[in-house]
């Protein structure tokens, strides 16, 4: 008979199935997470699974969607993640008549191009033809017919030309019914613009000078 003092408590089993079940599994989960991320990056950037299949174009009026797509030059099936949206916008912005462009990815396979075209407010004669001019003085489109817009009688129309800016400021300030009667705009100086209306009528448009700023007095008054 064994005395109670001589009894020995059983040792916990080592390497048992119960211990293995309680071991942390985070190394395995971390490895699986990394594997999934690598596979996702590979599928998104190096395969056609998430490639470009549709290019949508909105905002065009004078231009066509096909012209914008041709300028964007996005290869069909190119991975959407690798599309250079800034490069696409720059190529589309080079089209005559385009003022602003916004390019965005739309998963899983669409590129959306939103175009804001320039709005012609006047005409200019150049290279033996008529061209549209926007409100900022940018000459952007050659025309095949004469629309009812004022003709700027200026040899040099560009955004940084004070005479062109004065003429366009006068045109922009006119109500639409009056603008339709303006046949020609002449500029003697940036402060003096002449509007030649139909019926041999003329209107002198004197631009207001900016008030000269008052300097602080250096003496006691």
- Structural domains of the chain, count: 2
Instruction: Determine the pLDDT at residue 34.
Output: 59
d(CA 192, CA 132): 23
Q: Any idea what the CATH number is for the domain that residue 201 is in? A: 3.40.50.10960
Q: Do 160 and 200 belong to one domain?
A: yes
Instruction: Determine the pLDDT at residue 72.
Output: 97
d(CA 134, CA 174): 15
Q: Do 103 and 136 belong to one domain?
A: no
Instruction: Determine the pLDDT at residue 105.
Output: 94
Which of 142, 184, 143, 193 minimizes the C-alpha distance to 165? 193
Q: Do 129 and 162 belong to one domain?
A: yes
Q: Do 125 and 193 belong to one domain?
A: yes
Instruction: Determine the pLDDT at residue 130.
Output: 94
Q: Do 183 and 125 belong to one domain?
A: yes
Owning domain of residue 171: 120-206
Q: For residue range 142-159, list pLDDT tens digits in order.
A: 998 888 899 999 999 999
Instruction: Determine the pLDDT at residue 163.
Output: 95
Instruction: Determine the pLDDT at residue 39.
Output: 47
Q: Do 110 and 75 belong to one domain?
A: yes
Any domain includes 17: no
- Regions of the chain where pLDDT drops below 50: 2, 39, 42, 44, 210-221
Question: What SS3 class is residue 80?
Answer: helix
């Amino acid at each position: 008979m064994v005395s109670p003092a001589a009894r020995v408590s059983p040792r916990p089993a080592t390497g048992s199935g119960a211990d293995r079940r309680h071991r942390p599994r985070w190394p395995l989960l971390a490895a699986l997470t990394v594997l999934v991320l690598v596979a996702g990056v590979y599928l998104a950037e190096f395969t056609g699974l998430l490639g470009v299949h549709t290019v949508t174009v909105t905002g065009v009026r004078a231009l066509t969607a096909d012209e914008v797509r041709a300028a964007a030059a996005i290869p069909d099936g190119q991975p959407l993640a690798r599309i250079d949206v800034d490069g696409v916008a720059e190529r589309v912005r080079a089209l005559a008549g385009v003022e602003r462009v916004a390019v965005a990815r739309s998963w899983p396979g669409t590129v959306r191009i939103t175009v804001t075209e320039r709005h012609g407010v006047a005409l200019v004669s150049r290279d033996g033809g008529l061209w549209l001019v926007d409100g900022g003085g940018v000459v952007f489109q050659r025309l095949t017919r004469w629309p009812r817009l004022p003709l700027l009688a200026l040899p040099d129309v560009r955004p940084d030309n004070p005479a062109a800016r004065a003429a366009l400021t006068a045109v922009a300030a006119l109500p639409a019914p009056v603008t339709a009667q303006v046949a020609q705009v002449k500029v003697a100086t940036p402060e003096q613009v002449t509007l030649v209306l139909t019926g041999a009528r003329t209107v002198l448009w004197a631009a207001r000078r900016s008030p000269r700023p008052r300097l602080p007095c250096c003496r006691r008054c």
